[in-house]
Amino acid sequence: MNLGSKLTSSWGRFIFFAGLLLQPTVSFSDATLICADKIIEAGSKVRMRSAEVSVLPNGLLRHHWSSEEIECDTIDDQIINLTIKGKKILQNGFSSAEAEALFKYMQSENSKMFAECKDRFYGTKETFANIYLPKLQSLDADVEEIKNQFDENFSKVSREFFIKKYYEHKEPLARLETYEELLRNDNTNPIDTEECISVADKALARETDFKRRIENLEAQVTQKDEELSQKSIEIAKLRQEIQSLEDIRTSFAAELAVYEKPRKLNKIIDLIKTADFAEANQIYKEMISKFTLTATDRKRLEIMAIESVRPIPASDKSSNRAGYQFLMNLFPENKYYQSKLASYSE
């Protein structure tokens, strides 16, 4: 090997290693794996270990499989070019010129939109400096009026404004586009076409009016629902008050029973002492319909009734009958009282 060849070889190795140093953090093996996955996706197979890796003058990393005639150029984790057996699978990162053109178009539209946003921003900033700031700095600044003006103007250029307008006109515009599509594909007379457009306009206006009426009705329904909800709350409160009053009444009734039962019992005792069994029978029936009489109370009344019945002459059947009726009311199963009552009932 002569000196020129050695210098050329040394210089080539220098360029190769310098290119490797300038490569991003993605390793050769990772880039090779990315290429292998894309090659498999394209319908071919390769062995990763058989790839020959080199750095191209433009900084791309080339993965070459000589036996399969495959070349794959990468940068970072992106495949830029892929050639299989002389066929360009990917070029400049895209599978077709149309895809690349669409990408450039999308980039252009994004750039335009960004430029418009910048112009709008700087225009708004200039408006602040030239219109709103002088008004706010004036001695008689009407802050409320300035704020209302700003809110109104800013709402017309805000994102929310355009989103709202879009959804408001989305359905009508879609219908108009449908009408236009139908009319474009229709071979009828132009006069009929104009009439169709007129009918469509009327239908659209009618639909808009119906929509407005429906919205008004929905607002009224919502209002009625709120009123009914309020009434339901008031009714629930009234029911709680009624229940509270019912609880108070029950409590009072229980307290009254505590005093009413002894009072009636004492009344019966007084009537028995005077042998007024007819009145005693009536009050006794009223009392047992409301209260439970204990065995002690029954025995006490029985003893007192016997003492009052015994002195009554046998000829006074009516008084004896009333007396033994009272005793029968106390003890309906008593055979003696049954016999005595029967004897005075004949």
The domain boundary, picked from 72, 95, 118, lies at: 95
Whether 27 and 53 share a structural domain: yes
Tens digit of each residue's pLDDT, the chain (346 residues): 443 443 344 444 544 444 444 444 556 678 888 898 999 998 988 888 888 999 999 989 999 998 889 999 999 889 999 999 989 999 998 988 888 888 888 888 888 888 877 777 777 778 778 888 888 888 888 888 888 888 877 766 666 766 776 777 777 777 777 766 766 666 666 556 667 667 777 777 888 888 889 998 999 999 988 888 888 898 999 999 999 888 888 787 777 767 788 888 899 999 998 888 989 999 999 888 888 888 998 999 999 999 999 999 988 989 999 999 999 999 999 999 889 899 988 7
Number of domains in the chain: 3
Whether 90 and 110 share a structural domain: no
Whether 79 and 107 share a structural domain: no
The domain boundary, picked from 107, 139, 157, lies at: 157
Whether 106 and 35 share a structural domain: no
Looking up tokens 């895209």 gives: 94
Q: Which residues, including other chains, have CB under 8 Å from residue 320's CB and lie 6 or more apart? A: 309, 312, 314, 340, 344
Alpha-carbon separation of residue 85 from 34, 38, 66 (angstroms): 19, 15, 10
Give the long-range contacts of residues 180-187, CB within 8 A, separation 24 or more: none
Burial (Cβ within 10 Å: 0-12, 13-18, ≥19) of residue 82: buried
Burial (Cβ within 10 Å: 0-12, 13-18, ≥19) of residue 129: exposed
Q: What is the pLDDT of residue 32?
A: 87
Q: Is residue 84 part of a domain?
A: yes
Distance CA 76, CA 235 (A): 73
- What angle in degrees, to the nearest 10, is found between the helix axes of 190-273 and 295-309? 50
Give the range of the structural domain holding residue 62, as residue numbers without chain letter.
3-95
Q: Which residues, including other chains, have CB under 8 Å from residue 15's CB and lie 6 or more apart? A: 55
Whether 91 and 7 share a structural domain: yes
Whether 55 and 102 share a structural domain: no
Q: Which of 35, 27, 30, 24 is nearest to 63 (CA)?
A: 35
Tokens at 288, concatenated: 């047992």
DSSP assignment letter at 94: B
Q: Is residue 182 part of a domain?
A: no
Tokens at 21, concatenated: 């140093």
Neighbour tally for 269: CB within 10 Å: 14
Q: What is the pLDDT of residue 83?
A: 94
Whether 124 and 45 share a structural domain: no
Q: Is residue 82 part of a domain?
A: yes
Whether 60 and 142 share a structural domain: no
Whether 82 and 101 share a structural domain: no
Neighbour tally for 143: CB within 10 Å: 9
Whether 31 and 84 share a structural domain: yes
Q: Is residue 68 part of a domain?
A: yes
Q: What is the pLDDT of residue 19?
A: 47
Q: Is residue 171 part of a domain?
A: no
Neighbour tally for 174: CB within 10 Å: 10
Q: Is residue 333 part of a domain?
A: yes
Distance of CA 272 to the CA centre of its chain: 76
Question: How many residues are given for the chain?
Answer: 346
Q: Which of 72, 59, 75, 81 is nearest to 15 (CA)?
A: 59
Q: Is residue 27 part of a domain?
A: yes
Alpha-carbon separation of residue 136 from 126, 130, 275, 281 (angstroms): 15, 11, 106, 99
DSSP assignment letter at 48: G
DSSP assignment letter at 294: P
The domain boundary, picked from 117, 138, 157, lies at: 157
Whether 62 and 131 share a structural domain: no
Q: Is residue 253 part of a domain?
A: no
Distance CA 87, CA 78 (A): 19
Q: Which of 246, 242, 279 is nearest to 264 (CA)?
A: 279
Q: Which of 54, 88, 91, 92 is nearest to 70 (CA)?
A: 88
